Structure 1
Amino acid sequence: MSSMTFKSHKLRNNRKPRFAVGGTLNILRIWRARYRNRRALRNDFGQASPRWLARMEHDIGLEPGNLQREMNKPFWKE
């Protein structure tokens, strides 16, 4: 039978180790914000006619189809 040894890492200045938790929480916050923004777009513009959407995009300086693509994009995609 083989035995496994693990090295223990001492913390400097009693600081917590920097694991991916902070990065994971940040990603979850970003995803949540995207989900809310895209849901709001779907609620506001989801039932709009394509002609009205095209005019709205033109008025605010977006390329045709940008609002529709953004509304339908999954929250994990930028």
Structure 2
Amino acid sequence: MEEGLKYVGAGLATLAMFGAALGVGNIFSSYLDAAMRNPSAAPQQQGNLFLGFALVEALGIFGFLIALILLFVV
């Protein structure tokens, strides 16, 4: 029973990867929408784009790390 619940917990922790994928898609779609409306402001916002991408991806990787810890350490 305990072994099965470990897999359930790891599976729930990997939902962070799904959230990260949604977040990255939302960030890039918003950037492209804004860049098409005002192309002259797009280069100034590129740093914010990559910062947002990195933070969202880090949260997804953190969720994956939690899943691995639940599977192999606990």
Which TM-score tier does this pair reach, normalised by the shorter chain?
Answer: 0.3 to 0.5
Higher radius of gyration, 1 or 2:
1
Highest relative contact order (Cα 8 Å, sep 6+), 1 or 2?
2
After TM superposition, the score normalised by the length of structure 1 is 0.46
After TM superposition, the score normalised by the length of structure 2 is 0.48
